[in-house]
Amino acid sequence: MRSMTRCARIRAAVSTVFTLCSLPFAAWGQTPTPAAPSFDPKAWLLPLDEEATLGRDAEGDVVFQWTAENISAELQLTDDPLKLPGDAGPVLATVKGKKKKDIKGYNASGRWYGVITFRGGANDGKRIVVADRRLPLLGAANFRDIGGYRTVDQRQVRWGRLYRAEALAGLTDSDLATVGKLGLKTLCDFRGVTERAAAPDKLPSSVTLSIAGLPIESGAGRGDAMKMLGVALKGDPAALDATMSALYIQMAEEHGKDAFGPFITLAADTKNLPMVYHCTAGKDRTGIATALILRVLGVPEKMVVADYSQSNLAYDSLMKQVRGNPQLAALGVSPERLGPLMGVNPVWLTNALRHIETKYGSVENYLTTACGVEKKTLDSLRKTLLY
């Protein structure tokens, strides 16, 4: 068998990076992309500024934390998200004057949902539902629950209903056991046919999922691979921002009716939930889908963009795949120069949302006009996904 030619190596390398970045292939030849090798994804990470959280300490105990001061807080836990918020079980602890409480004796491998109810003062009766946002999966670092966010009318997005993720091809046996406990009913896959064939999802054998393939991909030609890779390595941050913003807008304009609209419709029907949705890296196509659903639910844009930026926490996992790419190594290309394409800059999503709101007036109008979503479907979506 003949050895791989230099041109073939370039094509393979560019194809791999394209797949990880979740971008239409034709865009690689349009503008210079990645910046200097000193890229730090933490510079693109925005704080979520949540009013309360639920996590684990080093011993695996459940930890409640909240920001309100000088209050009394009643704490509850349940492993069933359908019981939230009003049937979360007995009060496990009442905390006065503190903003943190460890709850011992709960299974460290389980997924728990908490309810914090404030007593006394201006916050009397206020209830906050909390949970671990990011699932601790070894083979899917960007698998997370989009619940818990507060809307402008002070409701919360339901936990345990929608999970955003990257491709699930790398799930380990322990990951599959964890995912199997989520009760998933539907998987929505934004990857193209070639992507899905190259990395089929691993799914828990304990559940039967309805698979919805809603591919977001470009049908344009690939052009000159040598030129594409050269452009990608030039390192121009301003051009990267312009290119990525334009690509996000392109995806929103070209895939409303065949991807984003059907996704919203699926999420509005309780029989499809819980649902996980993903692309390859779980950051671009999945990021747009998440932004659309959170905005139409009424989550403020600042929080929506902050959620989007949390994909930067999966940067090391994505870069590990790039660093292990044999085609890049054969070409002598430093994977670090491709680093910015493995992160997400809040500017990219912000510009896309600005385009949508400028052209259509609101995300809701975009969904009803450009995506074919009926108004009654959006009403069902809010009823289904908000406390």
What is the pTM for the complete model shown?
Answer: 0.90
Closest CA relative to residue 24, chosen from 267, 246, 174, 182 = 246
Contacts of 107 (CB under 8 A, 6+ apart): none
Instruction: Yes or no: say if 342 and 324 are a contact pair by the CB < 8 Å rule.
Output: no
Higher-confidence residue of 223 and 103: namely 103
Among residues 265, 271, 287, 321, the alpha carbon closest in space to that of 190 is found at: 287
Confidence of residue 289 (pLDDT cuts 50, 70, 90): very high
What pLDDT is recorded for position 225?
38
The residues that bridge with 187 in the sheet, in sequence order, are 211, 276
What CATH superfamily is the domain 6-45+148-385? Answer: Protein tyrosine phosphatase superfamily (3.90.190.10)
What's the pLDDT score for residue 145? 98
In the chain, list all ranges with CATH 2.60.40: 52-131
* Ranges 14-23, 53-62, 219-228, 311-320: which has the least confidence: 219-228
Confidence tier at 382 by pLDDT (50, 70, 90): very high
Cα–Cα distance, 233 to 338 (Å, whole number): 7
């349009």: which residue's tokens?
30
Sort 43 into a burial class: Cβ within 10 Å, 0-12 / 13-18 / 19+: exposed
Q: In sequence order, which ranges of the chain are alpha helices (DSSP H)?
A: 6-21, 173-180, 193-198, 225-232, 237-254, 261-267, 285-297, 301-309, 315-323, 326-331, 346-360, 363-369, 375-385
Q: Among 4-13, 21-30, 359-368, where is mean pLDDT lowest? A: 21-30
* 247 against 83, higher pLDDT: 83
In this structure, the number of other CB atoms found within 10 A of the CB of residue 50 comes to 17
Residues recorded for the chain: 387
Region 188-216 average pLDDT: 93
* 186's tokens: 């539907």
Helix axis angle, 237-254 to 346-360, nearest 10°: 40
Q: Where do the CATH 3.90.190.10 domains begin and end in the chain?
A: 6-45+148-385
Summarize pLDDT for 60-75 with one digit per residue, the tens. Answer: 899 999 999 888 999 9
Contact between 357 and 370 under an 8 Å Cβ cutoff? The reply is no
CATH class of 52-131: mainly beta
Look at residue 352 in the predicted model and tell me its pLDDT.
98
